[in-house]
Amino acid sequence: MNNTHYRIKEIFYTLQGEGAQAGRPAVFCRFSKCNLWNGRESGRAEAICDFCDTDFVGTDGQLGGIYSAAELINIVVGLWPHYGNDNEGTPYIVCTGGEPLLQLDSELIDSLHQARFEVAVETNGTLPAPDGLDWICVSPKANAKVVLTSCNELKLVYPQPLAMPEQFEHIDAQHFYLQPMADYRSEFIATDRSVHNLSANTTAQTLAYCLQHPKWKLSLQTHKLLGID
C-alpha cells in the first residue's frame, strides 16, 4: 500500500444507472474536486462545465473522508454483499466524481484488484488514465480537450452546442451513447414547469439524433427514473 490519501465525497452501494453497464450493482466512490468547475454555485458562470448536477465538494457525504488506500478498501469491501463468495459475482467499483482522475492512481487500482474488485472510472476525458482500469467511460464536455481517445464507452450529454457528437466519432470506443441533458436546477425546483419542459425537450432531441445516427445509442439516467441514488 502507498502513503497517498484520497479525498472522497461519498461512497455508496447501488445500481449503475447509465450506459452500457446500466443495471449492474456497484459500489460508487465519488472523488472530491473537478478540474472543470469548483463545484460552487458562485463559480458556475465562470466554469468550463456549467451544467453539472453533482455535489462533489468536500468530504462530508455518506462515508466521505480522507483515506489511505487500505482504509478505502476496507470501506468498499464492507459494502459489497457476501464479499468473498465467488458465486455472488465479481465485485465492481465505479470511481466517479468530480473528476476521479485527479486522484485515482495505479497503486489504488492495484489494491482494488488485490481485493478482487473490477475497477471502472467515469471521467471527463481531459486527463490521462492510469494503467489497469477495467472499464473507462469518457463523458466529454464543451471547451475541454479530450486526451483520452481510447475507452470502452463514450457517453456524451446532449445537446451541448460546442460539443456535438460528430466531434467525438474519431474516439476509439466500443459504445457510443448520447444522454439527454438534465437541468441542473431540477433537484432544487422540481415542480418548475420550465425544468420539466427542458428535460422532455432534450430527451426528444436526443432520441431524434440517435434515430438519425444509429452509431449512437440512447442512455437514460435510470437511477433517477427509479428514484435511487
Task: Using CB under 6 A, pick the residue from 91, 98, 140, 180 that binds ligand SF4.
Answer: 98
C-alpha to C-alpha distance for 145 and 138, rounded to whole angstroms: 12
Beta bridge partners of 30: 10, 96
Does 223 participate in catalysis according to the annotation?
Answer: yes
- Cross-sheet strand order for the sheet of 135-138: 65-68, 5-15, 25-31, 92-96, 118-123, 135-138, 150-158, 172-180, 217-218
Least Å distance between CB 37 and ligand SF4? 4
Residue owning grid cell 465562470: 46
Position 137 contacts ligand SF4 (CB under 6 A): no
Does 122 participate in catalysis according to the annotation?
Answer: yes
Does 134 participate in catalysis according to the annotation?
Answer: no
Measured in whole angstroms, the distance separating CA 212 from the mean position of its chain's CA atoms is: 26
Position 124 contacts ligand SF4 (CB under 6 A): yes
Position 54 contacts ligand SF4 (CB under 6 A): yes
Least Å distance between CB 158 and ligand SF4? 13
Closest by Cα among 76, 55, 54, 53 to 6: 76
**String marking each residue 65-84 x if it binds ligand SF4 according to CB under 6 A:** --------------------
Position 37 contacts ligand SF4 (CB under 6 A): yes
Position 17 contacts ligand SF4 (CB under 6 A): no
Rounded alpha-carbon distances, angstroms, from residue 140 to 152, 176, 192: 14, 12, 28
Position 34 contacts ligand SF4 (CB under 6 A): yes
Does 105 participate in catalysis according to the annotation?
Answer: no
Catalytic residue among 29, 34, 137, 151: 34
Task: Using CB under 6 A, pick the residue from 49, 95, 120, 156 that binds ligand SF4.
Answer: 49
Least Å distance between CB 160 and ligand SF4? 11
Percent helix, strand and coil across the chain, each rounded to 5?
A: 30, 25, 45
C-alpha to C-alpha distance for 196 and 96, rounded to whole angstroms: 26
Task: Using CB under 6 A, pick the residue from 8, 11, 26, 52 that binds ligand SF4.
Answer: 52
Task: Using CB under 6 A, pick the residue from 8, 36, 73, 154 that binds ligand SF4.
Answer: 36
Under a CB-based contact definition with an 8 Å cutoff, are residues 106 and 80 in contact?
no
Does 53 participate in catalysis according to the annotation?
Answer: yes
- Cα angle, residue 152 at apex, residues 150 and 155 outer, rounded to 5°: 95
Least Å distance between CB 39 and ligand SF4? 7
Residue owning grid cell 483515506: 67
Enumerate binding residues for ligand SF4 (CB under 6 A). 34, 36-37, 49, 52, 54, 56, 97-99, 124, 141
Active site residues: 28, 34, 49, 52-54, 122, 223
